[in-house]
Amino acid sequence: MFRRVLNLSLILSWLVFAMNCRESVAAAGFMNETDRQALLAFKDLIQEDPLAVLSSWNDSLHFCEWKGVTCGRQHQRVTALDLASQTLVGSVSPQIGRLTFLGEIRLDNNSFHGTIPPEIGQLFRLHTVSLYNNSFQDLGLTLPNLKYLYLGGNKFSGSFPPSMANASGLLFLSMSRNDFTGPIPKNLGNLRDLTYLELNGNRFVSNKPNDLSFIGSLTNCTNLRRLILSENHFGGVLPGSIANLSSKLETLNLGSNKISGSIPQEIGNLNNLSLLVIQDNMMSGSIPESIGKLSKLEELAIMINNISGKIPPSIGNITGLSVVGAAKNMLEGIIPAELVGNLKNLEALSISGNKLTGEIPSALGSGQVLENLDLHGNFFEGAIPSSLDQLKGIQQLDLSQNNLSGQIPEFLGKLPLMRLNLSHNMFEGEVPKVGVFNNISAFSVVGKNMKLCGGIQPLHLPACPIKFSKKNKRPFLDKMIPLLIILPIVLLLACLFLIFYQLKKSQQRTSHVSLLENQYPKITYAELLHATNEFSPINLIGEGRYGSVYKGSLNSGEHIVVVKVLKLQEHGANMSFMAECDVLRILRHRNLIKIITACSSLDFKGKDFKALVFKFMPNGSLDNWLHPTQAEEQGSNLTLVQRLSIAIDVASALDYIHHHCEMTICHCDLKPSNVLLDDDLCAHVGYGMGEEVSTEADMYSYGIMLLEMFTGKRPTDIMFIDNFSLHNYVKFALPDRVMEILDSTIVLEEVEGLNRNKGGEGEFAKLKSCLESILRLGVICSTELPHERMDSRNVVEELHRITKAYNE
């Protein structure tokens, strides 16, 4: 009897368990369908999708496999929505509030507009929202559990959202480059965990003397490392409470506001600062002595103010200082010897447009790494000190608009100067003709220098007096007689040599192509014409000085190729083609673009036709990935690991052509658009013949490309003006401001990846060390002096070392 009751009890328990499981499965299925419907509602409000990103959002795939969607493994619920940089146009559906497991949403670098739906505030698991560079206009969200909020580069307006202070767990808050107005609320200090605060590029102002009083509330943010309030309308004075900000504060940027008053003495308490920017305000008073206590400061920018008094010698105590900008103030007195004598790491010193007097201190010659020295527009007098011949790294030197006198030293022509301005002084004597003085566009001596003579012809200065001895009254005539006899003979021989050379070159022109064609299948002009739809503009994918590049298909579409057609009417095109044939004939490396064949014949009009045919790379060029536009097919971002792998591929290609070929080959045109990516994002370098021919020039180009890959900034970016380059931009940021200059997509993916995986300070330090090593390598390779650049072989070894250290 007992056994029967026991069996019945077990059966009933099993039935109850089975019914509960069925209900759980049904509930899970219902919630999964809720997520799918919410995503489809999001898709319905997308007006333009030029890259067809959402084409996978259909019933043929489970929604967890849709592009940009990430689901949790256990419940198959949407945990992340990442559609960054996909050129989408539209608005955000309120149905997004039904994705109750959503932890992060990234829609940056698109064209979303309208309001951020308040329903997002219901997502209590949401910790990351990245919406920068869109056209959102209304905020409308309350997110108490957020950790990361990026709203920069939109059209938000109105006052600072009061609900923001309720997001007590915020670590990163960026509201830069919007149209916010009004005061900053003092309850911002409720965000006690805040690490980064960026409010630059708005119109924040209170029209009261205490515009910046909210800074006092930020003393509660004990982990604050970066505070950027530049490019607003803040007025009033800088409060002494600034001294009570976080002891971890590394960056303080108050530039381009309307702040008045003096720099408070208490600023010296921020002893962890590496960057202090107060430029372009209405500050007055003197520079406080306490600024010398900022022992970790690397960059000080106080230019374009009304600061007066003397330069405090205590600045010389900041031995790690690399940039000092104090131009366009009312500073007076002499340059303290301590300032220039102790700052061995100083790379840029600009104190132009002040009232400084005395002689240029000879201690300036101890600045071994000084690259930019600007002293113009002061009242300096005396001669240029001879100690300046020790400035072995100087590139920009401006001493104009002073009262300097004496002769222009010859040693200036031996320095690696790119720009030299000595105009509007009182120099006299002969102008040198060597180095920078041999380039009329690189130096200036105009103005009050009325007693100058000689120099290169474009200066149009009077000749310097020549003194002849009595023995040499007829030196010119004695030398000209034999010259007049020899000159006709030399000219005749030169003409004969040129005739012989042209005959030889004409014989070689066909040999270059025939040697290449013997190695590869032959192809005719007609075949290439058909393959490229008669060289249709639709097939045109690039154009350079010597040729146009077309996409084509051979063998009825079986093989997709790239056809480079030479512009033979361009001077030098034939030479470029022959050089390229010579090189391609001997190149064999996995990271060099693979040639299929070459064609040298006549077109249907009887004109010369030359073309090279290469393997097509489906992922386009590295340039497309670094700077995507609406015309590009891919919209994904390159990860840190992918960028590092590409950097190794390119360096390996350079190592091969520099050290492992039959002869040393220089690429001379290395840039992201010449680096092509295959299906696996493996890099292949396209060969290009430039004008310079040296391996050091290749390494310079590689260094600049490496910096572009990890900062996301082109070397031709509009920010690089007035001799400020990408190289200097990165160099001045190393080592402490690495995370600030990185491509924002790397920061978002890697830093937030660490947070998702609960990586500690050790993992973050490893990430920062990796990035610092890569950028430092780029700086070394792009240094101005060729002999200081790293060799390609050593670059490959160093990149492998960095990769190994990061993966350990």
**Best CA proximity match to 628, nearest among 641, 642, 638, 617:** 638
How big is the CA angle at 27 (ends 22 and 28), to the nearest 5 degrees?
100
Decide: helix, strand or coil at residue 439.
Answer: coil
Closest CA to 335 of 362, 369, 372: 362
> Two tokens at 334?
């002499």
Rounded CA separation 194/252 (Å): 14
Q: In whole angstroms, give the CA distance from residue 173 to residue 787.
A: 44
> For residue 364, which amino acid is it?
L
Q: Is 69 left (phi over 0), alpha (psi -120 to 50) or beta?
A: beta
Query: Which sign, positive or negative, has the C-alpha torsion 37, 38, 39, 41?
Result: positive
Give the other-Cβ count within 10 Å of 16's Cβ. 10
Select from 244, 358, 233, 254 the least CA-distant residue to 302.
254
Coil, strand or helix: which one is 193? coil
Q: DSSP of 464-523, one letter per residue?
A: PP----GGGSSHHHHHHHHHHHHHHHHHHHHHHHHHHHHHHHHHHHHHHHHHHHHHS---
Name the DSSP letter for residue 571: T
What is 229-250 written as a DSSP string?
A: --SS---SB--GGGGGS-TT--
- Vertex 56: Cα angle to 107 and 550 (nearest 5): 85
Q: Are 462 and 440 in contact (CB under 8 A)?
A: no
669 is catalytic: yes
Determine if residue 564 is labeled as part of a ligand binding site: yes
Residue 524 to residues 54, 100, 531, Cα–Cα distance (Å): 42, 62, 11
CA distances from 170 to 97, 189, 193, 254 (A): 20, 11, 6, 22
Residues listed for the chain: 808
- Helix (H) / strand (E) containing 382: strand 381-382
Amino acid identity of residue 261, one-letter, is: G
User: How far, in Å, CA of 297 to CA of 737, rounded?
Assistant: 11
Report the alpha-carbon angle 506-509-514, nearest 5: 140
Q: DSSP H helical segments within 712-743, as ranges? A: 726-733, 738-741
- Within 8 A by CB and 6+ apart from 765, the residues are none
Omega into 735 within 30° of 0, i.e. cis?
yes
Q: Which two tokens stand for residue 32?
A: 């999964």
Cα–Cα distance for residue pair 254/206, rounded to 1 Å: 16
CA atoms of 282 and 261, how far apart (whole Å): 7
* Tokens standing for residue 305: 């103010």
Cα(150)–Cα(225) distance, integer angstroms: 17
Q: Which of 35, 211, 398, 669 is catalytic?
A: 669
Report the alpha-carbon distance of residue 366 to residue 387 in Å, rounded: 8
Collapsed DSSP state (helix, strand, coil) of residue 671: coil
Q: Which of 218, 165, 222, 173 is nearest to 200 (CA)?
A: 173
Instruction: Find out whether 414 and 389 touch, Cβ atoms under 8 Å.
Output: yes
Phi, psi (5° rounding) for residue 749? -70, -45
Helix, strand, coil shares of the chain as percentages rounded to 5? 40, 20, 45
Q: Residue 66's CB: how many other CB atoms inside 10 A?
A: 22
Tokens at residue 466, please? Answer: 């020549």
Catalytic positions are 669
Going by the annotation, the residues of the binding site are 564
Going by the annotation, the residues of the binding site for ATP are 564
